[in-house]
Structure formats: structure tokens, C-alpha cells
Structure 1
């Protein structure tokens, strides 16, 4: 026990002398979490709260065009800026750059007239089917086009949401025009405007309820998603500090000097395992504390800790053990510090990519999802998400912790085999 204590004290002093290493271990992950969470929180605000500025070139000014603009405004996605004069596509593009607008919509001349004709044709077809189901109208529907100009910076999924909003507004206009024709045909004295308001105001609301194991109905925010993910990433990046430290000891001949003493190199490895596991838990404590207490003061959502704090500690402990075991395994097999740093850093990025940290699991190609099981970061992330996002307890995440423990055990066996092969023990 004294030998282990002495080795722990030696490793701790070496770590404290490495100011750059300590900065890399603690400060860099904090900066990373702050930046990523701020960016994603801003993205959430753009999608959920902020309206997209849209330039409107209305060349029609008919009833359907006015209804279309009113429908766009009610959707809540767009901040409409009406242009007084009709502009051509070149001038419209210039105005988009001048006014920093990502979208522009042109309503062509005759839009209202063509929508009205389409409504009449559709209503007549309905009446013909009611009178004689066998009869079919051969009159073609009148097609029309609303032109959408967009900035290339818009991503495809965001542009798809915008297109869905436009189609919803257009369908609303067409429905109003068809209802107008139908009611006027059935009853000339019908109050069409009142009927429209009654129909469109009596819609069925959608109540969003997040599904959680603990019955918690709090909607997860950007902080809940990012802090656990990037904390795992930071823990596994301990490979750069610990892996290079092991290689440095091998190159300096420390293990040979240990062989002349009544001790074992395994004690040194156990010392590093304990010390750097504590360092990883320190990373968790620092980053989670910032999420709980600092984030609300800088305009970011606060981190809501799960109810099962013991489960949170155990998930963090097992994740830290796996991260340190991976670093030891890399350090045992690497021959130079460059190999340890290069392979360690790149491999962690790859494991993070296939583990669902850099890219969400649902967005991965089907071929890559089969590789997620080999990434310890995936199982660690699923364990954290089971606690943070789903409101689960320790019993709910054991299915993710067992593979993580198995990977940790395999890494330690590989490290032991490497030590035996190199006659280090």
C-alpha cells in the first residue's frame, strides 16, 4: 500500500508541474463546451423562436395574394418585408444582400386569378361527382408558381421546413377559395368570411410531451444535449496526456530502474489509473458545475441534473475508467510520443464520430450504425442521455453500462498483454 501511495504522490507532483497539460485537460474542454453549446443554442433559437426575414415582391395584389401573405404571417416562421415596387430577379438578389435577407418570394401577376380559376374547376369536379359519380371532368387544373429565392448558406433541412411552410400557406389559400365557390353555389346569402373563420379557428392543437422514464415533462435544451456529450469527449482526450507520459517513461528507462527495486511496474500503472480517473471525474465536476451555475448568467440554458445522482456518479466513474484504460492501452503499444499523440487524438475523433457525439446516431448512414457498438463513447453517451434526457435511473442504463464495462475490461487485457510482450512486467 505504501508503494502505491508513493507512486500516486510522484504521479500527482509530475502532473501538477505540467501547467500546459493541466490547461489542456481542464480549460480546453470548458472552452469547447461553451462554444458548442452557444452555437447550438443559437441554432435552436433560430428554428424555434426567431423569424426568418423574407422579402416579398407582390406583383399581383389580388385577393388570393393578400390571403397568401396573411397565411405566411400567421405561420410564425417568417418576418415579411414588402417591397413597394416590382423588381426583377437580379435586383431582388441585390436587395437580399443589402437587407441581409435569406429568402425572397415573388408572387407573379395573375396569381389570384389563376387560384380562383383552379378553385372553380375543383368545386365543379366535386359537384359533378356528387351528381353522377361516373362522370369525370376533362377540364385541366390551372397550375401556378410562387417563386422562392434563397441564400445558398441555408441548409437543406432548414430550407425544407421553409418549403413546407410555404406549401401550407398555399393550401390554406386554395382551400379558402374552394370553400368560397362551394358556399356561394349552395347559398348565395352565405357569409363566406364567417364560415372561413369558424373552420380555420377550430383547428386541433398539438400538445408536445417529451417521453421520459421518470415522468419528467421538462423539454431538453441545448445544454442537456451538449454538456454530457462533450464531457465524454474531453475525458477520452486524456489519451494525449497519459499516453505520452507512459511512452516518455519507457523511453527514459524508468521501467528498467523499477525492475531493480522490490516493486512492480503494474503498481505504477494502477497509480496512473487511479490518478487519471480522478482527473476525469474532476473534468466532469468542473464542466457540470459550469452548466448548473455559470450558463444561466451568460444567457444559456442551465443544466438540469438527473434525479439519480448516484447513477450519474457511477456512469461518470465507469466512463472515466474506460477513458483511462484506453489511454494506457495506447501508451503501452506506442513506441514514440508522436505515435501516442497522433493515433490517440485521431482515434478519439473517429470513435466520437461513429459513437454519436459529432454526428447524431439517427442522422448516420445505415452502414455506419453497425459500428457504433465498438465505440465506448457511444455507450457512455447513451448512459448519460438515459439519465439527462429520458429522466431514467441507474437501473434503466445498465444495458449501456455493461458494454462499456466489457470494453474497459478488454482494453485492460490488451494493455496487460502488451506489457508482457515488451517484458515490462
Structure 2
């Protein structure tokens, strides 16, 4: 009992020392808290449309109706209901459309030619005459994928519109009342496919960009404890603090344990703060709010993966601090290592955007394991059992990193 009490007293003193050293490092604390807040806010807004394909984009379009007939106006109205681009209204002529394209006000201008109504299946255009074509004017800066998407939407709606007009014409010719009374505007077919997350017993809304950004940049910020922790560790080594602790028979494992709790607490504060940013600050900036899980099991799973990621991050930081001889070395090795783990682990670019070999490579990154665990809770609405695998992998990484750090420092002391 006396030995255990003496061990706890030493450990509490080490925790207090590490906490005071951490609080003095204002630049390190700013990097740990301000950097992920900015990343979450910026990336949630920047990737909003990439994760919500049905949302209206800021890329505008206008329609130039040179026919100005009920048929052309009806087609334009139906097209507006289909497109997810920003509607900039109707322009008078092509010159106005080209000016709007040059000024960057719109990305597309769809020109409905004169004679559009007469060229339709129920129109009055004579046989053998050339049908006027719709023309799409495009800002060349617009990516090719968006150009193709706009053109295909316009062509598909035109085909649907012409088919309904043809049926109306056949109804008149064959004296079929049902086809004669067919109104293309009133009997328009559904054009929207509503996506829903189907895991579990009920449909759920598809995740927004903030559901992806918050866990990704939270994990990235957790691993950046390598900078303040290694700075404190190397300063203690250079100033002789570690040697004095060793002379007082303080085991090196206890010294590492003394560093573990303060930075673990910092990581958990980061987690709470980043969740609050996603929940309250991102909506104020125009994005969607982070949707948190419901139920005690989901919250327990969320805490477990957060704790495992924190232990992995602190273990990684202690390993880097043991490897580096100077603060500059620790900053370079730790910073570059974090960026590489984030790049291949799906933090900076979601893994489903990567080619197959990159997705396989991502499984080597501890950040990918942590991200998978967070996604199982926040995106797939999983419970405690769903995160046991990623959490176990992170804990194994933490123990391995701590073990190597202890061995390296014991070897250094023996020398």
C-alpha cells in the first residue's frame, strides 16, 4: 500500500508538471485548437456540394428564349425544375449571354432558337425542313464534368418533353381522349432520385460534408500533439530534468505515464470543441449542422474511438520525441509524418475519391483506422461493437509506439 501510494504521489506530481509546461506553450495550444477549427469550417463549406449532389450550386445559368412561345417557355420552366445550378433568369439575346459569361455571372447559357415550338412533334414545321438546334454557350473555365452534366440534363428533359408532345399529337390523330387530354406540364414524370442512407431499420438522411470534415480534422489535430509534447520532452532532456528524475529512481515508464494524461485530456477537449464547431459554428457560416448520434451505445462508441485515437496520437508523439534530438527535428519529423498519414489515410482527400491501390495503402495509416471508427458511428449509425476493431488497432499502435519509446530511452540511459 505504501509503495502504491508513493507511486500515485509521484504520478500526480508528474501530471502537474506536464500540465504547467503545456499551459506555458501558447503557440502549441493555438496550433492544437485554432488549426482544426479553421480546417473544419473551411472544408465543410468548400466540400458542401461535393457531398450533397442534389443541392443547388453557385454556378449560374441563363436561358435565351429566341422563340418566345408557350412551348419554349414551358420547356424552360421544366428545365429549371430539374437543374441544380443557380437560375439567373432569362436573357434577351446571345450578346447579353456572352457578356454574362465573360463577366463570370453565369457558367452556362442555353439558347432556345427561333422556331423551337414549330419544330416540336405537335408543331407546324413543314416536313423536310431543318430543325433548329439548341445551343449551349459555356464558360471555358467550367470543368468538363459540369459541362457534360448540364448538357445531358438539357437533352434528357428535351427528349422527355418531345415524347409527351408526340403522345398528345397521337391522341388527337387517333381520337383517344386520354392522350388528347395529356398536359405535359401537369403529367410530368418525376425527375428526382432521393438518396438516403439505408443502414439499419430505417432510411436516414445522407451525410453532409460536415459529417466528413469534423472527424477527419479532429483526428488530424489530435496527432499534432507531437509538436508541444516533443518540445517539452526535448527541453527536459536538454535541461537535465530527465536525468534528475532518473537519479531519484523515477522509472522512465512512469515519466511517460505522467505525460500521457495531460495530453490525453487536451485531446478530449479538442474533441468536444470540434464537435461544438461542427454543431453550432458551421451552420452560422452557411453550412449544415453536425448530426450527433442518439443513444447511450452510440455515445459510448464515440468516446471509445476518440480515446483510442488520443492514445495513439500521444504514443506517436512520445515516439517522435524519443527519436528526435532537437525541437526542430521533432517538428519536421512529426509534422511531415502527420501530413503523410493524413494524406494517405483519407483525412485530406476522402478515401472513396482515391484509386484502388491508394485505398489499400490507406489501411497502413493510424489516422485511417480512427476515421473508420468515427464514420461507423457518425455516418453508419453504429454502436459499441462496430468500433471495437478500429479501437483495438489504435490501442495496439499506441502500445507499440510507447514500447519502442521506452526501449530507446533505456538504451540511451545505459550509454
Q: TM-score, normalised by structure 1?
A: 0.81
Match of 2:93 among 81, 85, 88: 85
Pick which of 318-327 and 40-49 moved more: 40-49
Match of 1:168 among 156, 160, 174: 156
| Structure 2 unaligned blocks of 5 or more | 1-6
Match of 2:137 among 141, 144, 149: 149
Tell me the residue number matched to 2:38: 31
Match of 1:357 among 319, 328, 347: 347
| Structure 1 unaligned blocks of 5 or more | 121-138
Tell me the residue number matched to 1:337: 327
1:300 Cα deviation (Å)?
Answer: 4.3
Pick which of 144-153 and 304-313 moved more: 144-153
Pick which of 263-272 and 153-162 moved more: 153-162
Pair 1:241–1:99, CA change in 2 (3 A): closer
1:396 Cα deviation (Å)?
Answer: 1.7
Give distance in 2, aligned partners of 1:365 and 1:36. Answer: 22
1:266 aligns with 2:256: no
Tell me the residue number matched to 2:17: 10
Q: Residues 6-405 of structure 1 correspond to what in structure 2 (within 5 A)?
A: 6-41=13-48, 48-49=55-56, 52-61=59-68, 65-78=72-85, 79-87=87-95, 92-98=97-103, 100-109=105-114, 111=116, 116=121, 145-187=133-175, 194-197=181-184, 200-201=187-188, 203=190, 206=193, 208-213=195-200, 215=202, 217-295=204-282, 299-306=286-293, 307=295, 308-405=298-395
1:393 Cα deviation (Å)?
Answer: 0.6
Give distance in 1, aligned partners of 2:275 and 2:258. Answer: 26
Give distance in 1, aligned partners of 2:279 and 2:23. Answer: 27
Tell me the residue number matched to 2:3: none
1:348 Cα deviation (Å)?
Answer: 1.3
CA contact 2:263–2:314 (8 Å) conserved in 1: yes
CA contact 1:67–1:173 (8 Å) conserved in 2: no
What SS class does the counterpart of residue 182 from structure 2 fall into?
A: helix
Give distance in 2, aligned partners of 1:119 and 1:18. Answer: 80
Give distance in 1, aligned partners of 2:389 and 2:132. Answer: 55
CA contact 1:53–1:80 (8 Å) conserved in 2: yes
What SS class does the counterpart of residue 109 from structure 2 fall into?
A: strand
Pair 1:156–1:119, CA change in 2 (3 A): farther
Count how many residue pairs are aligned between Structure 1 and Structure 2: 404
Tell me the residue number matched to 1:125: none
Pair 1:248–1:145, CA change in 2 (3 A): farther
1:263 Cα deviation (Å)?
Answer: 1.7
CA contact 1:118–1:143 (8 Å) conserved in 2: no
Pair 1:293–1:54, CA change in 2 (3 A): closer
What SS class does the counterpart of residue 74 from structure 1 fall into?
A: helix
Pair 1:310–1:28, CA change in 2 (3 A): same
Aligned-residue CA RMSD (Å) = 3.6
Pair 1:143–1:362, CA change in 2 (3 A): farther
CA contact 1:53–1:81 (8 Å) conserved in 2: no
Give distance in 1, aligned partners of 2:131 and 2:157. Answer: 16
CA contact 1:119–1:174 (8 Å) conserved in 2: no
CA contact 1:214–1:390 (8 Å) conserved in 2: no
Give distance in 1, aligned partners of 2:108 and 2:189. Answer: 31
Q: TM-score, normalised by structure 2?
A: 0.83
Pair 1:410–1:119, CA change in 2 (3 A): farther
Tell me the residue number matched to 1:124: none
What SS class does the counterpart of residue 181 from structure 2 fall into?
A: helix
Give distance in 2, aligned partners of 1:401 and 1:330. Answer: 22
CA contact 1:235–1:323 (8 Å) conserved in 2: yes
Give distance in 2, aligned partners of 1:399 and 1:99. Answer: 50
